[in-house]
Homo-oligomer: A and B are copies of this chain.
Amino acid sequence: CPLPHGDCPLSRLLRHLLTARRSLDICLFAFSSPQLGRAVWLLHRRGVRVRIVTDAQYMGLQGSQIGLLRQAGIQVRHDQESGYMHHKFAIVDRRMLITGSLNWTTQAIQNNRENVLVTEDVEYVKPFLDEFERIWEKYNPINYKFF
């Protein structure tokens, strides 16, 4: 984005996220964008309740923001399955759904052709809220199996 406050897709995504006042629920296959990581950290610092669900195989890859966000005190849970936790969505204040093809990676933001759909229509937000709560419980560490 050439301008610091330009209307590039990343700026718009950041602006949507930064409207969060109470909660931010994130469900992402891959999360390595430093800008988006910083925004999430900032919201956590402001007292917004941040919860992150991610993919076990991708969370430890180089450049992942997950470790940093965990160190900052943000709750993170991950799948325990051989398949991918492939969702790419976030829900702001249980009100606004941000979903699409975009993983929160610099590669995707800068080089890929992607879509992000933002909606406050309850008809669309509700199933994603329900899915988030379902997998947040399913991936509760008390349910982890160690081999």
Contacts and interface: CB of A to CB of B under 8 A. Distances in A.
B112 A88 contact: no
Interface in A74-113: 79, 81-89, 99-102, 107-108, 110-113
A124 B115 contact: no
A15 B39 CA distance: 40
> What is the oligomeric copy number?
2
A135 interface: yes
Interface residues on A, range: 20 to 34
Nearest to A86: B112
Contacts of A84: 108, 111-113
A131 B110 CA distance: 17
Interface of A: 29, 79, 81-89, 99-102, 107-108, 110-115, 117, 119, 121, 124, 128, 131, 135
16 contacts: A79-B113, A83-B107, A83-B110, A83-B111, A83-B113, A84-B111, A84-B113, A86-B102, A86-B112, A86-B113, A87-B114, A99-B101, A99-B115, A101-B101, A115-B128, A115-B131
